[in-house]
Amino acid sequence: MRITVFQALKMGEERLLLHQVPDARLDAEYLLAGVLNMPRLSLLLEKLRFLADEEWTAYEAFLLRRESREPLQYILQEQSFMGFSFRTDKRALIPRNDTEAVCEETLRHIRGKMQVLDLCTGTGALGIAIKKLRPGCSVTLSDLSADALSLAKENALRLQADVRILQGDLFAPVADERFHVIVSNPPYIPQGLQGTLQKEVEKEPAMALFAGEDGLSFYRRIAREAPLHLNEKGVLVLECGDDQAAAVAALLEGSFEEIRIFRDMDGHERGVSARLK
């Protein structure tokens, strides 16, 4: 069957719409661009080109995966974060553009040869981006998931970021250490919402998403334990879910000062930063 790029995109969009995939046209374009190994916008210049049989077969395979609501980033195995391309797959949570506000807030507090801990690192996006943008600092990535850390290691090698990678439950791998800055995007979705989220989100690792009855269980632990792992006047930066920032800020009031709620590019409260008293 002889199919042009234009026809393939139309057929792809129709199939994705039939399965209620959000942004069907855009996803069809990204999937075909991935198959053809070209920028998405270049498809406009190639719309009359005929696909080779193997290209159509690969595109159909991608469409089937997306129709099942597998996240686009897992299919293409790539996501941009802070201008860097990170490998993504089912081993870890997909880096979100919203989290760039957390990275930017963290960068504000880093100077020279500071020690930085990225807690619950997942793909390593926060810590690796920080190391690339503040090369003088020392960065440690930590996570409980061995799968996530294997992906973080691949990303560190891919981006030539000299970071330390440790496995364990929250602060356990750095039991006797202190840092100038600790940043974390911990699990924060209430457990009761499992099964009600967007289908794509439900395909990400549950241990990276859900955090107790109210979604605050990790913040309680971090608020209690972080002071033991921060240098004098050290800084803590936390990403928060929707409508959680005020509650997280309240948890920090005992041991921290200069508590600040910051927003992402869409104006949503995205996180909290604070300095150890």
Q: Find tokens 């996501």 and name the residue.
A: 79
Task: Tell whether the torsion through CA atoms of 167, 72, 86 and 265 is positive or negative.
Answer: negative
Task: Tell whether the torsion through CA atoms of 55, 57, 62 and 63 is positive or negative.
Answer: positive
Environment class of 257 (CB within 10 Å of its CB; exposed 0-12, middle 13-18, buried 19+): exposed
pLDDT at 33: 96
pLDDT tens for the chain, residues 1 to 277: 689 999 999 999 999 999 999 999 999 999 999 999 999 989 989 989 999 999 999 999 999 999 999 999 999 999 999 999 999 999 999 999 999 999 999 999 999 999 999 999 999 999 999 999 999 999 999 999 999 999 999 999 999 999 999 999 999 999 999 999 999 999 999 898 898 989 999 999 998 999 888 999 999 999 999 999 999 999 999 999 989 999 999 999 989 999 999 999 999 999 999 999 9
Q: Which residues pair with 117 in a beta bridge?
A: 140, 182
Query: Domain ranges in the chain?
Result: 5-68, 79-276
CATH number of 79-276: 3.40.50.150
pLDDT at 44: 85
pLDDT at 195: 87
pLDDT at 106: 98
- What pTM was computed for the model? 0.92
Sheet holding 230-239, edge to edge: 164-167, 138-143, 115-119, 179-184, 230-239, 269-276, 256-263
pLDDT at 249: 97
Distance, CA of 166 to chain centre: 18
CB distance 151 to 89 below 8 Å: yes
Tokens representing residue 119 in the block:
């807690």
Per-residue burial over 164-193, b if 16 or more Cβ lie within 10 Å, else e, is: ebeeeebbebbeeebbbbbbbbbbbbbeee
Look at strands 115-119 and 164-167 and give their pairing. Answer: unpaired
Task: Tell whether the torsion through CA atoms of 60, 61, 67 and 73 is positive or negative.
Answer: negative
Q: Where are the alpha helices (DSSP H) in the chain?
A: 5-18, 24-36, 53-67, 72-76, 100-107, 125-133, 146-158, 199-202, 217-225, 245-252
